[in-house]
Amino acid sequence: MEHYNWGIPVALDLFAAGLGAAVFMVAVVADLAGGRKYRRISTTGALIAPWPAILGVLLLVIDLGKPGRFWEMILKRSHETLGVESLMFKIGSTMSTGTWLLTIFILGSLLYLVITLLAYPFKWAETLKKVLGVVGLPFALLVTVYTGILISATSNLLWNNWLLPLVFVSSAIVTGIAAVAFILAVLQVFKPESKIGSDVPRLEIMNSRLIVFQLLIVILFIIVGIGSAQMKAVIGSAFGLLWWIGIIGLGLVVPLLVGFKGGAKSPQISMLISVLVLLGGFFLRYAILIGGQMHI
């Protein structure tokens, strides 16, 4: 088996970090747009947002050659004495920026989760939640962008594509919405008599419009990169099946059609559609990450 420099753990991180940050953004935006009206969306989002990002960071650490040294990314050591000198931060290193963005995002989204729960009994927490949400939005957005910049600012012929960050950002948001829809649909299945899933069709309809945009960006991404052998391999070889059927067909086109038809007819179908979107999002990262490292 070929050994990839950056393998599945990194693909999972790119997916999970973007997903968590996007879920957070969806929660905040829903809260701002509708307050109590969208409480189901915003609370669900707030409850799930930190965990994918935490998982992503753990995977990144495990994937290091020396996981025990992860803190070298936080603290700067002197080359002469090896003593700790200061905090480590390098604006030009996306790995470094990303470390900090993820750290801030995880802490912030955990706080947001707590405050969201506090906002149920305490009125004052409601305002605090809105403020923290607005403050957190730019960080969450930067986390989704970071996943794309990380691999696009390299010498890799497939990744070094100026549209790649946008591909990941829009995919993150699409999967983030699907994740919220998935949880709501699952709850609806378990409590058939409740209204808990009533926002799901709305989310599906909204997502289908974003998927149109996502498809356009993906096609542009292919056009921009088509000169490289790697791109041809990713969309043409055995990978092509995953790409066209898994990522584009099942992960984007099917949910798009369902959304344009006014949403799924049952929460069970909604669950399935959300899973398709989520899997498509993961395989998009996977195909690009691994495809770029194939020796052609």
In the stretch 127-146, what mask flags binding to another protein with x, by CB under 8 A? ----------x---xx-xx-
Whichever of 94 and 246 has its CB closer to another protein, that residue is 94
Rounded to whole angstroms, how far apart are CA atoms 103 and 88?
Answer: 13
State which of positions 40-69 bind another protein (CB under 8 A).
64-66, 69
What are residue 85's phi and psi, to 5 degrees? -105, -45
Number of H helices, E strands in the chain: 11, 2
Q: Closest by alpha carbon to 186, among 269, 262, 250, 255?
A: 269
Q: Which of 122, 124, 134, 209 binds another protein (CB under 8 A)?
A: 209
Phi-psi region of 194 (alpha: psi -120 to 50; beta: other; left: phi over 0): beta
Q: Which of 267, 280, 281, 291 binds another protein (CB under 8 A)?
A: 267
Whichever of 19 and 246 has its CB closer to another protein, that residue is 19
* 171 part of the interface to another protein, by CB under 8 A: no
State the Cα angle at 208 between 204 and 209, rounded to 5°. Answer: 125
Residues 264 and 128: beta-carbon distance below 8 Å: no
Whichever of 104 and 137 has its CB closer to another protein, that residue is 137
Token pair 């999972």 is found at 12
State which of positions 71-90 bind another protein (CB under 8 A).
72-73, 76-77, 79, 82, 88, 90
Rounded to whole angstroms, how far apart are CA atoms 165 and 237?
Answer: 24
* 256 part of the interface to another protein, by CB under 8 A: no
* 199 part of the interface to another protein, by CB under 8 A: yes
* 234 part of the interface to another protein, by CB under 8 A: no
* 95 part of the interface to another protein, by CB under 8 A: yes
Whichever of 22 and 113 has its CB closer to another protein, that residue is 22
Whichever of 79 and 121 has its CB closer to another protein, that residue is 79
Long-range contacts of residues 199-202, Cβ cutoff 8 Å, at least 24 apart = 199/38, 199/40, 199/41, 200/263, 200/264, 200/267, 200/270, 201/262, 201/263, 201/264, 201/270, 202/263
CB 156, min distance to another protein, A: 6
* 152 part of the interface to another protein, by CB under 8 A: yes
* 165 part of the interface to another protein, by CB under 8 A: yes
Q: Which of 26, 115, 132, 181 binds another protein (CB under 8 A)?
A: 26
* 202 part of the interface to another protein, by CB under 8 A: yes
